[in-house]
Amino acid sequence: MKAEADKPSPSEGQVLLKHELDEVDWLALVDVFERAPLGTRDPKLLEQSFRNSSVSCFAYREGQIVGAGRALSDRLTWTVIFDVALAPEVQGLGLGRAIMQDLQTRAGGAHAMLYAAPGKEPFYEHLGFRLMKTAMAQFANPELARDRGFTD
Ligand SMILES: CC(C)(COP(=O)(O)OP(=O)(O)OC[C@H]1O[C@@H](n2cnc3c(N)ncnc32)[C@H](O)[C@@H]1OP(=O)(O)O)[C@@H](O)C(=O)NCCC(=O)NCCS
């Protein structure tokens, strides 16, 4: 399987990366996040998070949304990446790498930052990310963040 940005594909099963927010079925994307699994998202909050981001990327297979990612960027120095998620049936096919490349290229920051879902650090290390020694976060729900393995 090969992902190509904004090029329609004739071959069955091929994945298309798109950027158009108005085309997204947000309930279907909630389902992708649930099955990834990255938890249950409120569709309105999920949509607003993507709409308020600097760049977004959506993966479609045979017209169905199967993955996404988004980034905040000052388009000069820093890009911060969030919500990279793929449905289980398209994981391990190169799409995660393709979405990351698409976001980083279009966001344009010199440095990129993210926090990985616990256990997914090796994927990002494979793409060139390194653990930061001084990264810190203030989560809205500190207990939940600790229980999910994001903080000590
Ligand atoms: C994590 C995730 C985004 C990775 O995307 P993917 O499409 O499955 O990964 P890719 O096929 O693009 O892998 C790209 C490379 O990373 C490697 N890789 C993928 N997952 C890996 C892992 N968990 N550990 C180490 N390497 C990994 C692949 O072997 C591949 O290497 P290669 O290009 O040298 O052959 C995807 O599996 C996913 O959505 N998982 C569930 C949701 C999630 O945890 N998202 C991350 C939130 S931070």
Query: Mind listing the pLDDT tens digit for each residue in 77-109?
Result: 999 999 999 999 999 999 999 999 999 999 999
What is the domain extent for residue 131?
A: 116-152
Same domain, 108 and 133: no
Whether 2 has a pLDDT exceeding 80, the answer reads: no
Residue given tokens 């993966």 in the structure block: 59
In degrees and rounded to multiples of 5, residue 63 shows phi and psi of 80, -10
Closest-CA residue, ligand 1 atom 27, reads: 123
91 C-beta closer than 6 A to ligand 1: yes
- Quote the CA–CA distance of 97 and 140 in Å, as a whole number: 29
CATH of the domain at 13: 3.40.630.30
Same domain, 136 and 63: no
The answer for residues whose C-beta is within 8 angstroms of residue 151's C-beta and 6 or more apart is: 137, 139, 142, 145
71, 107 Cβ separation under 8 angstroms: yes
Q: How far is the CA of 12 from the centre of ligand 1 (A)?
A: 23
Same domain, 108 and 139: no
Same domain, 88 and 142: no
75 C-beta closer than 6 A to ligand 1: no
User: Using 50, 70 and 90 to split pLDDT, how confident is the model at 11?
Assistant: very low
Give the number of domains in the chain: 2
Longest dimension (CA), the chain: 49
